[in-house]
Structure formats: C-alpha cells, structure tokens
C-alpha cells in the first residue's frame, strides 16, 4: 500500500483533479438549468454567465448544448484550465479572471449561475446586496439567477460538517473532503473557515492535496429571503433541496444545500 504523499499549494493548482472530483451531477444540474430557462425565459439557447466557474463543468456542458457561455473565477489556474478544455473540445467560451465581490463583466445574459457554495464567499450583507444589484444589471428583463449553497440540516451542525465523496475518471480516483473548521467560527459575522482536501489515487500512488482555509459566510434561508427582498433586484420564484424542480426545500428535506431560482424584477 502506497503512503500518501502531500502536495502543497492548494487544490486550485490542480484543476484537473478538481474537475474530476466535482464532475458528479453536472449533467443533471445542467438539465435543471435548461428546464428553468425553457419555463421562464424561452426555449432558445441563452447567454449564460457562470460566476465562480471553477474547473468549468457547467460552463463547458452548457456550451456543448449550444448556449453562449461567459464565466469568471478568482483563480487564474482554473481559468487557464477551462480555456484549454474549451480549445480541446472546440467550444466557443469566454472565460477570464474575476472576483464576484467586484464584478467587472460585460454583456447581457438570460441566465446567471453561482453554484456549489461560491455565493458564500460574499461575506457581508453589503457585499451580497452590491453583488445582487450588479448581477441584475447584467440580466435581460425577466432573466434568471440560480444560486446554490450549503445550509445546515441541523442547527448543531452549523460550521461543524465534513462532506466526503469520490469520483473516478479513467484510472484516476479523486476523493473530496469538504471540511468546516468549528474553531474558526465568528458568531457575529456568521463566518467560519472551510477547506477542501483532495486525495488522488493515480498510477498506483496516493497523494493528498490540501486547500487553504478560506473564510465563508453562513446564510440561512430566511436571511437570504430578506436580503433578496432588500435588494429589490430579484424575486424568488423557486427554492429547491437539489437540482430538481420536484424537490422544493422543505423543513424535512434533510438536504445540505439550497438551490434558489431568482428572477430579475421589472
């Protein structure tokens, strides 16, 4: 049995492993996004903005399905990886480095998405409100914004959860550990640090890749509603416990995530 060998520098320096670890439900998630577009915007392919696109799983899949996609991410390594994947697959995409706290995008979109917890990098109410206003200003009338982030299933699990899953592509297996650090909780700002750790098994060797501890914000469902109302920019037209229109978020959903469907107000 090979001993794990530590690779330092953060998971984002290894976008290929990140892409494998996060590949899981992408097609179903894109089916959901397309169903939202068809129902609320129209049946034609749309202009889509992926905020914090990571290794580009949604953006690349949506481009394959004929949508015009634009995306940005804070990490240049991720952006480089997505552009290389798009070139290899001969897909037209526009992806650059950017920060969701100070968005500098151009264009008008039918759909914006901010998925898999990226929205929780907005740490203060002011940052959230400014962000909502900015996203709305880049949406066409009636355009949609889909957010997806962790909410605790039980109150005693706040900032105290560890998620773990495993994905395999070819001969590479990536185990993803998403660890929240209870020692970092700031109960006033409702923030704490979380960390991604990837364990990669490839070519008979096993390696651990440690992420950096990053401060994120806890946003509870009622608080999110209040922020959306306060922004005046959006109305909430759906709230789900998964990327599935038949599964609304309910008290007994036992889900660790809240997927919100927002529509730009006239």
| Chain residue whose CB lies nearest ligand SAM | 54
Rg of the Cα atoms in the chain: 18
In angstroms, how far apart are the furthest CA atoms of the chain? 61
- Compute how many residues bind ligand SAM; rule: CB under 6 A: 18
Piece of the chain touching ligand SAM by CB under 6 A; list 41-49, 93-101, 165-173, 243-251: 93-101
CA 24/CA 244 separation, integer angstroms: 15
Q: Which is nearer to ligand SAM, 120 or 263 (CB)?
A: 120
The tokens of 261 are what?
């469907």
| Residues in Cβ contact with 232 at an 8 Å cutoff, skipping those fewer than 6 apart | 265
Going residue by residue from 53 to 82, which x/- string records binding to ligand SAM, judged by CB under 6 A?
xx--x---------------xxx--x----
Is there binding between residue 264 and ligand SAM (CB under 6 A)? no
Going residue by residue from 105 to 124, which x/- string records binding to ligand SAM, judged by CB under 6 A?
----------xxxx--x---
Closest CB 179 distance from ligand SAM, rounded Å: 13
Residues 18-37 that bind ligand SAM (CB under 6 A): 22
The tokens of 116 are what?
């898999």
Q: Which is nearer to ligand SAM, 118 or 199 (CB)?
A: 118
Closest CB 116 distance from ligand SAM, rounded Å: 3
Q: Which is nearer to ligand SAM, 22 or 240 (CB)?
A: 22
Name the site residues for ligand SAM (rule: CB under 6 A). Answer: 12, 22, 52-54, 57, 73-75, 78, 99-101, 115-118, 121
């Amino acid at each position: 049995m090979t001993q794990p060998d530590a690779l330092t520098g953060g998971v984002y320096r290894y976008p290929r492993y990140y892409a494998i670890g996060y590949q899981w439900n992408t097609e179903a998630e894109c089916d959901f996004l397309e169903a939202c577009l068809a129902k609320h915007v129209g049946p034609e392919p749309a202009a889509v903005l992926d905020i914090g696109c990571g290794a580009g799983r949604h953006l690349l899949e949506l481009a394959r399905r004929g949508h015009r996609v634009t995306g940005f991410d804070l990490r240049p390594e991720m952006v480089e990886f997505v552009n290389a994947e798009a070139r290899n697959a001969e897909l037209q995409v526009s992806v650059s480095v950017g920060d969701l706290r100070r968005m500098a995008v151009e264009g008008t979109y039918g759909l914006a998405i901010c998925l898999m917890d990226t929205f929780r990098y907005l740490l203060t109410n002011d940052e959230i409100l400014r962000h909502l206003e900015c996203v709305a200003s880049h949406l066409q009338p009636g355009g949609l914004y889909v957010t997806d982030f962790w909410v605790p299933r039980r109150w005693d699990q706040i900032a105290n959860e560890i998620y773990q899953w495993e994905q395999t592509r070819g001969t590479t297996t990536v185990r993803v550990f998403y660890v929240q650090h209870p020692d970092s909780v700031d109960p006033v700002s409702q923030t704490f640090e979380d960390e991604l750790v990837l364990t990669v098994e490839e070519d008979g060797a096993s390696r651990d890749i440690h992420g950096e501890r990053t401060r994120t914000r806890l946003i509870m469902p009622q608080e999110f509603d209040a922020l959306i109302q306060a922004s005046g920019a959006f109305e909430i037209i759906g709230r789900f416990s998964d990327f599935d229109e038949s599964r609304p978020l309910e008290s007994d959903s036992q889900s660790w995530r809240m997927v919100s469907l927002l529509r730009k107000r006239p």
